Amino acid sequence: MKFQKEAIQYQLLSGKTADLPHQRLIINQEKERMEEIVFQEAGYTFHIRDGITVINRQETLVTRHIIGKRSHDFQPQGDGIQFSYKIALDLDGKGLYRFCLPSIHYTAAERLSDDKLVTFMEDRLTANIAAIYHVEEKKAYSLTKRIPAVMTTNPQRMRGESSFLHKTDLCSMGYEQKNNQLKFVMFWPYYEGDKSVAIDSKGTPVSAFYPLDGDEIDITFEYLVEQRESDNFTESIYQPFQKLSEFLDAGNHRIVSLPFSPEESIEYRLNSLEQCYREFEDEGAGLFFHFDPRKGYGSLPSGFGTSFNTIPHDSYVHILEYGFTGRQVNAVLLLAQSRRGLWMERGVKVINFFLKHCMTKTGWLYTLYDLNTKAPFYSFGDPQAPKLHYISRTCDKGNYLRTMVEAMNDVLEAYQWYRANGELHEEWLKHVMSFADFLLAKQNGDGSWYRAYQPDGTAAVIAGEEGLTATVLPLIFMCNLCRELEIQGRKFQHYKKAAISCGLYTISNSTMLEHYQGGTLDNPNIVDKEAAQYTMAGLYHLYRLTDDTRYLHEAVKAAKLFVTWNYIWNAPTQHETYLHGKGFRTKGFGGINSIWGGGVVDIYSLFHIKELYQIGIETKQDFFCRMAEWIGIGTEQILSCPMDSMTFADIGMQPEGFGICNQGIDEGMIAKGDIWGTLGWVYSAGIYGLGRYLEEKNKKN
| Residue 308: predicted pLDDT | 47
pLDDT tens-place string over residues 332-345:
999 999 999 999 99
DSSP assignments along 132-189, one per residue: EEETTTTEEEEEEESS----B---B--TT-SEEE--B---EEEEEEETTEEEEEEEES
How many CA atoms lie less than 13 Å away from 28 in the CB half-sphere?
5
User: Given a cut of 90, is residue 374 above it in pLDDT?
Assistant: yes
d(CA 350, CA 598): 36
Q: Which helix (H) or strand (E) holds 37?
A: strand 32-41
User: Given a cut of 50, is residue 649 above it in pLDDT?
Assistant: yes
Residues 6+ apart with CB under 8 A from 503: 447, 475, 538, 539, 542, 551
What does each C-alpha distance from 9 to 19, 83, 115 come to in angstroms? 5, 6, 18
What does each C-alpha distance from 71 to 44, 420, 614 come to in angstroms? 5, 79, 61
What does each C-alpha distance from 67 to 101, 152, 211 come to in angstroms? 29, 18, 14
User: Given a cut of 90, is residue 432 above it in pLDDT?
Assistant: yes
Domain boundaries, the chain: 3-249
Residues 441, 444, 446, 452: is their CA dihedral positive or negative? Answer: negative
How many CA atoms lie less than 13 Å away from 564 in the CB half-sphere?
34
What does each C-alpha distance from 643 to 151, 268, 272, 371, 682 come to in angstroms? 28, 12, 16, 37, 20
User: Given a cut of 90, is residue 678 above it in pLDDT?
Assistant: no
| Residue 382: predicted pLDDT | 84
d(CA 231, CA 137): 10
Over residues 66-90, the mean pLDDT reads: 94
Q: Could you give the 3-state DSSP secondary structure of residue 578?
A: helix
CATH architecture, range 3-249: Distorted Sandwich (2.70)
Q: Could you give the 3-state DSSP secondary structure of residue 93?
A: coil
Q: What number of other Cβ atoms are within 10 A of residue 202's Cβ?
A: 11
Work out the percent of the chain whose per-residue pLDDT is above 70. 97
d(CA 183, CA 3): 9
pLDDT tens-place string over residues 232-251:
999 999 999 999 999 999 99
